[in-house]
Amino acid sequence: MSPSSVDRKAASIRRATALLAWAPCAALAQTETPQNLEPVPDVPPPPARVESGEPLEPDVRIIRKKDATIEEHRINGNLYMIKVIPVIGPPYYLMDQDGDGRMETNMSELRENFVVPQWVLFSW
C-alpha cells in the first residue's frame, strides 16, 4: 500500500465516523415539541430610576478666561475637582483629596498656600 492510499482510507473513515456521530443529533432536532410546555413570561419592565437625591453625573461649570479654560466639577453641590486647560501647555487637575472643600496644597516656608497641580501622564 502506498502512503497516499492509506491517507485516503483514513480520511474516508473519519468522514464516516463524523456522519455517524452527528446522525442522532439531527434526529433529535426534528422531534416534535411536547404539548405540556408553558409559555415563557413576558420580559418585566426595567426598574424605576434611582431617587436617592444625589445626581449620578457631576455638574460641570466651565469658565473661559483669556489664558485658560477652567472646569469646576461638583457632585451634590460640593466642589471636588478643578480642571485647568491653559492655552499653552497640557491640562492639569486640582483635586480635593479629603472632601473638606479645599483643594490640596503643599504647605512650605517658601510658598504658602501653593496649590499643587496634577497632570495626566498616560491616557488610553
What pLDDT shows up at residue 110?
57
From first to last of the 124 residues of the chain, give the pLDDT tens digit.
Answer: 555 666 888 888 888 888 788 777 777 776 677 778 888 888 888 876 766 665 567 789 999 999 999 999 888 788 888 888 889 888 888 888 777 777 765 544 555 666 566 667 777 7
DSSP 3-state of 94? strand
In this prediction the pTM is 0.44
